[in-house]
């Protein structure tokens, strides 16, 4: 089983690639939380993987909370691996994730980071088409190496790009992000909205409701996955004033598989 969390498709694409290569099933963590599916029984020799993005040099809070509450049933010692996707560096993301596993009595055998295009358009312009293509090509090569390591069940094996000042970034920026940057108040919708309801369906926090044909954020905070912002088909959703002039990013796998599926 591979559990994944994804807003704009990077982590989903990585999880799908690994699941296909390992012959494992996929489970969306956001869906599991919504449907209260915390129990899982591992089959003999089944590998357990977690794939998720890096938010401010740490795992999304939804991911660590899910892991802490996961109820696993198994015999022997299951092989557990984790992959985090990031725009440049992961900081101490994998350390935090490993600690969450340990709180649930689980041991992380291997961990990896994969650099992919950044989706954080609330802070800066997304990568150019050329940069996206280059990062995705390198990401495929990295995923090939990860798949090989996981197939061989390499233990105590970690390949994570922490980057410079990882301790400060993960120890200071991440807590500040969780305290102040997750607020939904800056979200708003323009007159371009067509009322398709896609944002409500894909919100990983479950905090968007269509009211009178337009999306309304019903909670003060969310996961800040930016799925609604990046995947709106008419770019009607904004966050503050700066996103109005910025591009959007969605992984090609979501463009080809997810958006069409969600809007049918």
Look at residue 260 and tell me whether its pLDDT is greater than 70.
no
So what's the pLDDT on residue 259? 45
Q: Is 72 helix (H, G, I), strand (E, B) or coil?
A: strand
So what's the pLDDT on residue 167? 73
pLDDT band at 179 (very low <50, low <70, confident <90, very high): low
More confident residue, 181 or 214: 214
Structural domain count, the chain: 2
Give the CA distances from residue 196 to residues 18, 199, 209, in Å, rounded to whole numbers and listed in that order.
32, 8, 12
d(CA 86, CA 107): 23
Secondary structure element (H or E) that encloses residue 262, with its range: helix 259-263
Domain presence at residue 246: no
Residues 37 and 160 in one domain: yes
Domain presence at residue 248: no
Residues 32 and 145 in one domain: yes
Say which DSSP state 183 is in: B
Residues 167 and 218 in one domain: no
CATH number at residue 31: 3.40.50.360
What is the pTM (predicted TM-score) of this model?
0.93
Residues 122 and 160 in one domain: yes
- 136-178 pLDDT, tens digit each: 999 999 999 999 999 999 999 999 999 887 777 777 777 777 7
Say which DSSP state 240 is in: T
Domain presence at residue 257: no
Give the CA distances from residue 179 to residues 116, 120, 165, 166, in Å, rounded to whole numbers and listed in that order.
26, 17, 21, 19
Residues 120 and 213 in one domain: no
Residues 186 and 168 in one domain: no
| Range list of β-strands (E), the chain | 2-4, 26-28, 39-41, 48-53, 71-73, 80-86, 110-115, 157-159, 187-189, 208-211, 214-217, 237-239
Pairing of strands 80-86, 71-73: unpaired
- 55-76 pLDDT, tens digit each: 988 999 999 999 999 999 998 8
Residue 44 corresponds to which tokens in the numbers above? 């003999």
- 108-136 pLDDT, tens digit each: 999 999 999 998 999 889 999 999 999 99
Domain presence at residue 158: yes
**Main-chain dihedrals φ then ψ at residue 199, nearest 5 degrees:** -60, -40
Domain of 91 in residue numbering reads as 2-178
- 213-248 pLDDT, tens digit each: 999 999 999 999 999 999 999 999 999 999 999 999
Give the CA distances from residue 209 to residues 5, 105, 196, 197, 218, in Å, rounded to whole numbers and listed in that order.
21, 37, 12, 8, 7
């Amino acid at each position: 089983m591979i559990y994944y969390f994804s807003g704009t498709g990077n982590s989903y694409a990585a999880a799908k690639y690994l699941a296909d290569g390992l012959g494992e099933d996929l489970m969306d963590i956001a869906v599991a939380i919504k449907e209260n599916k915390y129990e899982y029984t591992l089959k003999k020799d089944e590998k357990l993987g977690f794939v998720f993005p890096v938010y401010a040099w740490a795992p999304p809070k939804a991911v660590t909370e899910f892991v802490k509450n996961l109820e696993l049933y198994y015999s022997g010692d299951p092989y557990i691996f984790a992959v985090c996707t990031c725009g440049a560096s992961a900081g101490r993301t994998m350390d935090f994730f490993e600690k969450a596993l340990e709180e649930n009595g689980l041991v992380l055998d291997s961990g990896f980071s994969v650099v992919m295009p950044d989706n954080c358009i609330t802070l800066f312009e997304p990568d150019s088409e050329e940069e996206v293509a280059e990062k995705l090509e390198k990401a495929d090569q990295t995923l090939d190496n990860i798949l090989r390591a996981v197939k061989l069940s390499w233990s105590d094996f970690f390949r994570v790009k922490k980057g410079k000042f990882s301790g400060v970034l993960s120890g200071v920026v991440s807590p500040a992000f969780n305290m102040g940057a997750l607020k939904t108040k800056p979200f708003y919708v323009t007159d371009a909205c067509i009322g398709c309801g896609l944002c409500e369906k894909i919100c990983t926090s479950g905090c968007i409701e269509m009211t009178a044909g337009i999306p309304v954020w019903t909670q003060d905070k969310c996961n800040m996955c930016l799925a609604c912002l990046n995947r709106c088909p008419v770019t009607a959703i904004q966050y503050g004033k700066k996103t109005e002039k910025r591009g959007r990013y969605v992984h090609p796998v979501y463009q080809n598989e997810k958006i069409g599926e969600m809007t049918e």
